[in-house]
Amino acid sequence: MGCGEVGELEPPTPWICPIVLSPLPPAVAQLEVGYYSKTCPNAEAIVRNEMKKSSPPRPASPVHSSGSISTTASSEVKAKLEAACPNTVSCADVLAIMARDAVVLAKGPTWPVPLGRRDGKVCPRPSQTSRCSPRSSPPTASTSRTSPSSSGAHTLGTAHCPSYASRLYDFSGAHSADPSLDSEYADRLRTRCKSVGDTATLSEMDPGSYRTFDTSYYRNVAKRRGLFQSDAALLTDVNTREYVQRIATGKFDDVFFKDFGESMVKMGNVGVITGAEGEIRKKCYIPAKMHERAAAAALIGLPPAPVQDDLVSSGRPGIPDCPGRPGCPNKPAAHAAS
């Protein structure tokens, strides 16, 4: 996303979804590049080929704290991997590879992805919302901060209105809009995002170049046209402001590309499950036990069992749906047996 001028915002296409690898609590990760070289040697090639099949390719932000994982895309990739190497490649590793390939396919840098993660057996439940992530732990304040280079992921993808609308309406007693946001840009955003409760509207995170991984995001941030408060915060610290201004010149793209790859590897190494812990899910966002129960129920013609409290998600997209408890945004949904 990044149009030269904000007025050039084009309607985002419906297949754009952010892919998220949220940084999690520190853990000693036993990960290695080439982890599947013997057990599933074509794993990374399968992921890349499936992503190339998207037409057009899905621009997706690999790092975004309030974003979501493209359930359809990851499910398609995981199905191909299960066919080639049953019960071998974890969903957590699938998402790590997809994050890298999303950047590469958008003309960004590549980096080696250490693999060997396992999937969580149950979903964390700090909030009772919709679906279940392969991750085992929610992000914490200390690990959810991103470096100025990883913030550059906001050059790809789109965001729903509620993730930034608080900057446009009733920001504070003294200001109707966030004063750190360029006023012209705020006016343009309000023409798309009509209210804080507008959940249908998508806006480009880097207007005009949201399909290409480049440094235009930093030029927008330098002009106070970053979509999120976290973008604006980069200008409040002398070190991060200096980084933004340097990359915004367009003369240090190679520096940003190198920094970004390194930051992704670091974030991908914290909060992971390895070794004998966790499990390998057959379907992403469905813990294996639940998947087995649903399959068994389908064989004898029974409806899927209701989702239990220990499977409530941390607010990331996937399956199962939230079955009508307080805080659930949707009514219970019938689940197709898998």
Spell out the domain ranges in the chain. Answer: 151-267
Pairwise CA distance, residues 16 & 57, whole Å: 9
Residue 337 is predicted with a pLDDT of: 38
Quick one: average pLDDT of 310-333?
34
The response to whether 206 counts as a known ligand-binding position is: yes
Determine the pLDDT at residue 324: 37
How far is it, in rounded angstroms, from Cα 238 to Cα 224?
15
CATH of the structural domain 151-267, one choice from 1.20.990.10, 3.40.50.300, 1.10.420.10, 3.40.630.30: 1.10.420.10
Rounded CA gap, 96 and 286, in Å? 18
pLDDT for 75: 86
Six-digit token pair at 165? 């609308």
Q: What SS3 string covers the chain?
A: CCCCCHHHCCCCCCCCCCCCCCCCCCCCCCCECCCCCCCCCCHHHHHHHHHHCCCCCCCCCCCCCCCCCCHHHHHHHHHHHHHHCCCCCCHHHHHHHHHHHHHHHCCCCCCCCCECCEECCCCCCCCCCCECCCCCCCCCHHHHCCCCCHHHHHHCCEEEHHHCHHHCCCCCCCCCCCCCCCHHHHHHHHHHCCCCCCCCCEEECCCCCCCCCCCHHHHHHHCCCCCCHHHHHCCCCHHHHHHHHHHHCCCCHHHHHHHHHHHHHHHCCCCCECCCCCECCCECCECHHHHHHHHHHHHCCCCCCCCCHHHCCCCECCCCCCCCCCCCCCCCCCCCCC
Could you tell me what percent of the chain has a pLDDT over 90?
A: 51
Mean pLDDT value across the chain: 75
| pLDDT category of residue 30 using cuts at 50, 70 and 90 | confident
What's the whole-number mean pLDDT along residues 131-147? 50
pLDDT one-digit tens code per residue, 140-177: 433 434 589 999 999 998 999 999 999 999 888 777 89
Inform me whether the pLDDT recorded for 236 exceeds 70: yes
Annotated binding residue at 155?
yes
Residue 114 has pLDDT above 60, yes or no: yes
Evaluate if residue 99 carries a pLDDT over 80.
yes
Residues catalogued as catalytic: 64
CB 63 within 8 A of CB 267: yes
Confidence at 297, pLDDT banded by 50, 70, 90: very low
User: What pLDDT band is residue 59 in, cutting at 50, 70 and 90?
Assistant: low
Residue 201 has pLDDT above 50, yes or no: yes
Q: Decide: 20 and 223 in contact? Cβ < 8 Å.
A: no
Q: Is 117 exposed, middle or buried (0-12, 13-18, 19+ CB in 10 A)?
A: buried
Two tokens, residue 53: 């099949």
Q: How confident is the model at residue 110 (pLDDT cuts 50, 70, 90)?
A: very high
Per-residue confidence band for 61, with pLDDT thresholds at 50, 70 and 90:
low
In the chain, % of residues over pLDDT 70: 64
Give pLDDT, residue 204.
Answer: 94
pLDDT of residue 280: 93
Query: Taking a C-beta distance cutoff of 8 angstroms, is the pair 240, 234 a contact?
Result: yes
Asked if 279 contacts 271 with a C-beta cutoff of 8 angstroms, the reply is no
As a whole number of angstroms, the distance between CA 159 and CA 67 comes to 7
Cβ burial, residue 309 (10 Å; 0-12/13-18/19+) = exposed
